[in-house]
Amino acid sequence: MRKTYDFHGGIHPPENKHQSVRTPIADAGIPPQLTVPLSQHIGAPAHPVVSIGDHVLKGQVIAEARGFVSVPKHAPSSGSVIAIEDRLIAHPSGHLAPCIVIATDGKDEWLQRQIPPDYQALKKTELIDLIRNAGIAGMGGAGFPSSVKLSVKEGTHIETLIINGTECEPYITADDILMRERADQIIEGTKILRHIIAPQETLIGVENNKPEGLAALRAAAEGTGIEIVEFPTKYPSGGEKQLIEIITGKQVPSGGLPSQVGVVCQNLGSAVAIYEAVVLGHPLISRITTVTGESVREPQNFQVLIGTPMRYLLEKAGYEAQKNNRLIMGGPMMGFTVPDSDVPIVKTTNCLLAPTESELPTPPPAQACIRCGLCAEACPVSLLPQQMFWFAQSKELEKLEEHNLFDCIECGACSYACPSNIPLVQYYRASKAEIVHLQHEHEKSEHSRIRFEARQERLDQAADEKEAKRAARKQAAEARAQQADGGAEDPIQAAIERAQAKKAAQQASGASTVSELERLEQAVVTTRKRLDTASTKLDQATAEGSDLVSALQLGVDKTRAKLEVAEQALQEFQQTPTVAPVEDSPTNAAQAAIEKAMAARASEAALSPSEKAQVQLEKLQQRLQKSQDTLARSRENGEDEKVIEALEASVARLTEKISAAQDQRNAGENA
């Protein structure tokens, strides 16, 4: 007989287990509809791989795992997918979650099953993949994917593998009935786990309030080297860390994992699921669920398909809804009230408790804390619940963390022990959530700060660069101005000089008749080229049905006209090759223009500001007159609308300019 240890605290609530173990496991059958939530485990929700209307077979993957901490979902029975939508699930929040709804066809037709090879021949990683692909998540309560738990880091030495058959919470008998009826499967599943983990010793821990189960297990474990450890009943000995302490005497450090003390724990139900997956090739599509409480006439254990509505299962057990005050998923200590009896059974539903008001009364109003310390005596993790209660009330979150709030396993022993009926666990749950929320917020604000600072830096840098460029431009302009001081006096002078130089060059080269001919020929060639490109563009635009067709058409026509003119000119020139050169006139015109400009500049320089403004004004008025004439002409000729609009706009601009010039002149006169 192995020596067992005791852990601090604990309570002895009424067990109420005998009601549901009087009859063997019953098959709940196939309900008309199965609702499979995509997230039944801790970690990332699975991703659906079927669509509405698909026919699915029993055991077919309907949703794939996403990420490392995730498991796939399988169709619990054959039928067709009728909805993939948000449905109410068993969660204390009453929120909706994505589910795949299957209308069953009653045939329960299996997918072609692949019986895996003998597990002894498989490698550790292959076995873990097999377990993951079978969708196995911890069936004790939290639903942590078993494959993750089994993937112990390389180099971690595991001394002990513990199968948790404690089932310490009142009312629940799902594991008890498994031990009584399927001890062989438990032992087989344990052997597979032993093969994966390769520990020095393999133990199954069971409380001494299950003598039949213990006897069955002992008989099945005969000669396998698996030891069955029996220890006194106390709540919450089924907590992972508590069980490790009971069996090995070692305490898992605060915030640590069992593997740190060389232990891996698995639930007894998970061991059976692993047996079914590895030996039979069944994915996890059904489980044992206890239906109990005074509101059901025949409390018993059911083999039930995942996704079965709770109401369907309750009715199988003779549910009397009017007697039931609230429906609880899980046990009376750690379970929660489900929002509606239509929510589906999930992989973690070990118990459905439908008590009457007299059986599990609504808690009376809480009284003041009298600092009796009973909660501290009951706490299995040796925390100071009364102290944490004060901190939670006054929201002193830092102090709560200092008092190791996160080691609280939310077992509810303190609330049970409290003579003032204070819902202590709820304070801790809320405070934990608040701390996590604040941490997230702080992380986010830190992230925003970094982004803000990065942006600020970038903007500063851009401003600096702009400033540097501006300075460089200014310097360059100054340098140019200095240079200009030595050279040409101003741009007009420079332009005149350029024009004169050009003319001189032209004269020097001697504008012969040959070059004139060349020029004309060149003009014809370029115009033809332009006509070609314009026509292609027009064709393209017509093909595409663009808005630009009319404009392009206009362009083509104009170019064609130009081409004709050019060709005519060329012909004329060729016909009269000895025509007298009329080069005098352009030379004279240029000369005249230069002279005019110089005269204008000279006269301008002599004028006073107001006179200048006057001149400007007159010029503008002349331009206005001209524009108005053009506008009137185009109107008469019925030109294109766009042309008229443009002309009107230019008239308006000129009018504006005139009024501005008038203002300027007036100002000049006043001065």
Partner 1 sequence: MIDLLLQYPLIAALLTLVGLAAVFGALLGFAAVRFKTEGNPIADEINNILPQTQCGQCGYPGCRPYAEAIVNGEDINKCPPGGEAGINALADLLDVEPIPLDEEHGEEKLAPAVAFIREDECIGCTKCIQACPVDAILGAAKQMHTVIASECTGCDLCVEPCPVDCIDMLREEESLQSWHWQLPDPISRRADVIASDASADESSQDRAA
CB of 370 to partner 1, least distance (A): 11
Give the x-and-dash track for 283-322 against partner 1 (CB under 8 A): ----------------------------------------
Where helices occur in 607-640 by DSSP H, the ranges are 609-637
CB of 47 to partner 1, least distance (A): 16
Which residue type does 476 have? A
CA-nearest of 265, 260, 283, 261 to 273 is: 283
CA-nearest of 66, 70, 83, 203 to 132 is: 70
Is 68 a binder of partner 1 (CB under 8 A)? no
Which of 52, 436, 462, 561 is the binder for partner 1 (CB under 8 A)? Answer: 436
CA-nearest of 28, 288, 298 to 180 is: 288
Q: What is the CA radius of gyration of the chain?
A: 47
Is 398 a binder of partner 1 (CB under 8 A)? no
CB of 459 to partner 1, least distance (A): 10
The interface region with partner 1, picked from 7-15, 309-317, 427-435, 592-600 by CB under 8 A, is: 427-435
Could you give the CA distance from residue 466 to residue 454 in angstroms, rounded to a whole number? 18
Which of 24, 280, 371, 452 is the binder for partner 1 (CB under 8 A)? Answer: 452
Which of 22, 113, 371, 447 is the binder for partner 1 (CB under 8 A)? Answer: 447
Could you give the CA distance from residue 315 to residue 67 in angstroms, rounded to a whole number? 38
Between 420 and 621, name the residue whose CB sits nearer to partner 1: 420
Between 456 and 542, name the residue whose CB sits nearer to partner 1: 456
Instruction: Give residues 15-54 in contact with partner 1 (rule: CB under 8 A).
Output: 39
Which of 24, 32, 67, 92 is the binder for partner 1 (CB under 8 A)? Answer: 92
Which residue type does 615 have? V
Could you give the CA distance from residue 418 to residue 374 in angstroms, rounded to a whole number? 6
The interface region with partner 1, picked from 90-98, 195-203, 292-300, 505-513 by CB under 8 A, is: 90-98
CB of 415 to partner 1, least distance (A): 11
Between 231 and 427, name the residue whose CB sits nearer to partner 1: 427
Between 237 and 349, name the residue whose CB sits nearer to partner 1: 349
The interface region with partner 1, picked from 88-96, 182-190, 292-300, 595-603 by CB under 8 A, is: 88-96
Is 451 a binder of partner 1 (CB under 8 A)? yes
Between 185 and 431, name the residue whose CB sits nearer to partner 1: 431
Neighbours of 299 (CB within 10 A): 25
CA distances to 56, 221, 332 from 50, rounded to whole Å, are 8, 42, 37
CB of 470 to partner 1, least distance (A): 20
Extract the tokens encoding 256. Answer: 């640590």
Long-range contacts of 529-536 (CB under 8 A, 24+ apart): 530/559, 531/556, 531/559, 531/560, 531/563, 534/559
Is 388 a binder of partner 1 (CB under 8 A)? no
The interface region with partner 1, picked from 305-313, 429-437, 480-488, 513-521 by CB under 8 A, is: 429-437
Residues 213, 219, 220: CA angle, nearest 5 degrees: 90
Is 365 a binder of partner 1 (CB under 8 A)? yes
The interface region with partner 1, picked from 74-82, 109-117, 349-357, 437-445 by CB under 8 A, is: 437-445
Cis omega (within 30 of 0) for bond into 32: no
CB of 465 to partner 1, least distance (A): 17
Instruction: Give residues 153-192 in contact with partner 1 (rule: CB under 8 A).
Output: none
The interface region with partner 1, picked from 132-140, 287-295, 344-352, 433-441 by CB under 8 A, is: 433-441
Q: Crossing angle for the helix pair 609-637 and 641-670, nearest 10 degrees?
A: 160
Between 88 and 127, name the residue whose CB sits nearer to partner 1: 88
Is 448 a binder of partner 1 (CB under 8 A)? yes
Extract the tokens encoding 97. Answer: 């979650």
Is 455 a binder of partner 1 (CB under 8 A)? yes
Which of 13, 262, 281, 423 is the binder for partner 1 (CB under 8 A)? Answer: 423
The interface region with partner 1, picked from 108-116, 140-148, 442-450, 467-475 by CB under 8 A, is: 442-450
Which of 8, 55, 91, 326 is the binder for partner 1 (CB under 8 A)? Answer: 91
Is 602 a binder of partner 1 (CB under 8 A)? no
Neighbours of 598 (CB within 10 A): 13
CA distances to 186, 265, 274, 280 from 113, rounded to whole Å, are 22, 29, 16, 9
Is 2 a binder of partner 1 (CB under 8 A)? no
Between 444 and 498, name the residue whose CB sits nearer to partner 1: 444
Which residues lie across from 201 on neighbouring strands? 160
Which residues lie across from 137 on neighbouring strands? 145
CA 210 to chain centre: 47
Total chain residues near partner 1 (CB under 8 A)? 39
Could you give the CA distance from residue 638 to residue 442 in angstroms, rounded to a whole number? 72
Q: Crossing angle for the helix pair 491-509 and 584-606, nearest 10 degrees?
A: 160
Neighbours of 348 (CB within 10 A): 21
The interface region with partner 1, picked from 94-102, 466-474, 478-486, 613-621 by CB under 8 A, is: 94-102
Which of 340, 453, 464, 564 is the binder for partner 1 (CB under 8 A)? Answer: 453
Could you give the CA distance from residue 514 to residue 570 in angstroms, rounded to a whole number? 12
Is 429 a binder of partner 1 (CB under 8 A)? yes
Distant-in-sequence, close-in-space partners of 648: CB < 8 Å, separation ≥ 6: 631
CB of 368 to partner 1, least distance (A): 5
Residue corresponding to tokens 């948000």:
86
Is 371 a binder of partner 1 (CB under 8 A)? no
Give the DSSP H or E segment for 79.
strand 79-88
The interface region with partner 1, picked from 53-61, 110-118, 234-242, 423-431 by CB under 8 A, is: 423-431
CB–CB of 261/244 below 8 Å?
Answer: yes
Q: What does the binding site for partner 1 look like in residue numbers (CB under 8 A)?
A: 39, 91-93, 95-97, 365-368, 392-393, 420, 422-423, 426-427, 429-434, 436-437, 441, 444-449, 451-456
